[in-house]
Chains A and B, each alone.
Chain A
Amino acid sequence: MINATDKQLAWRRAGVLGRRLSSRLLWGAVTLLCTTGIVFSLLNLAGDPAQAMAGEKADKKTVEQVRVQMGFDRPLPVQLAKYVARVARGDLGESSFYRRPVAELLLQRLPFTIALALGGLLVWVGIGVPVGVFTALRRDTWIDRLVLVLAVLTYSVPTFWLGRMLQHALAYRHAWFPVGSFGGPANLVLPSVCLGLSGVGYYARLVHTNMVDVLPSEYVRTARAKGLTEWVVLWRHAFRCAMLPVVTVLGLDAARLLGGVVFTETIFAWPGLGSQMVQAIPNLDIPLVLGTVLFAAALVVVSNIVVDLLYFWLDPRLRDEGLV
């Protein structure tokens, strides 16, 4: 490393990044494969897809006809392999209930889910992070303790209960917000709060802990010794370093966000992917449920890779790992 030129170093860095990225992609593929297998097995355990497709009152003959027609009579591993092969070609199949391509159904609902997830994320980060910074600066005061209690409370409240309470208090008792469904930006407020509130307390505490770790560190003192204003010391020096672990957790929490989306969409009749999937389960609409789960799993894998790359960019020390 000592004798390497800057250009050689840049190449080696690119190599490290490339290896890291390819191993992440490989693990991502394995994750998706396992997810598909598990969900596929669970759905087949839950009921008879042929019966569900033919209708509850259909006679035996019709059900058997559907079974053969749809290939439900083949052994499960064969069905699974066929499904995986089709997905690998980019085809998610056709919904057995709506009789339309799964990809089309997903894309139709996707914008609503994205809007809700971003709303929830905004509540997590937009409230949680400033509160965490603030309480770190007011450490061990009454307001810090109050926020701690509130954080534990909001973190512990289940989404479905919170959703109902928000609807009751802010949409029914006081008609400040629409109860549910989609109409305009105002419709997004309650679902976003419902989805995001549990994360607010969590992120406030996470940011608090990391700030409290970083604030007494020597480089923060050096920044003050240079005569920088408290504002610059706080954000450019302390906050920037305190956010490194927070970003990691955010990436891992993409899964939690999507899980919360399923509950929230159902409570608020939000026309997104989650509510569509919840409706598809009793219909035993295997292609649609599988497609949705696969899509969500892919989102989690991608968000983890993005966070990994982001971390690489945020923490310069990582770029030189394994170079010496």
Chain B
Amino acid sequence: MIGVSTILKRDVKRAARSGGTWAYGLVFMVIFLTLSAIALDGEMSTLRRLGVPLIWLAVTFATLMSADRAFSEDIKDGTTGQLWLGGFGYLEQAGSGIFAFGLIHLLPLIITAPLWSVLFDLNSETVIGLVAALLLAFPGIAAFTALAGALTGGQGKGGFLAIFISAPLLVPILIFGVAASQAYAITGWAAVEFRALAGLSLLALAVSVPATAAALAANTDR
């Protein structure tokens, strides 16, 4: 019987054997942040001020670049329909697909964020706030980006379209994400921005899971 864990195991195993294609986002993030630090002339006070927003931008861009990897292969080769016939419905496929996408394409960016924060000389409290905010935003970013991937998965070249669809959806998460990362150093865990971010993530999941399921069903009917 196919379940969420079967899908996760399959996707993680395939990513690990893909010759590093899962790491495109990570490589982009490193290059983007390094070039940003160089472009800002290595001026420490500027780097410290812009470090958090730049890391958030890098995470967002890097995830968007992978948007067309969510669901598109399963839709194109007919796996989505086969899973549905095998009793693994579109809603379950949406949930497990979003989680697998986040795990493979987004989590490595979040885990390595403290490493890149060295470039910007961020203090430890800011780094804790940054990672906590990124983790809270994880479901939201993964859900909206994977939704765009599912919507455009049936297209030949859906990559750009997926970016255009998901970018506006990610703006509120980006705004509150940066605010929460910076608020931790001042108000700690009680910062209202963390609650707003968690709320946005839950909202993203509530909207994206059924919408992704509908997109998968529509893309299977061809």
Whether A and B are associated in the same complex: the answer reads no
Q: Which residues of B contact A (CB under 8 A)?
A: none
Q: Which residues of A contact B (CB under 8 A)?
A: none
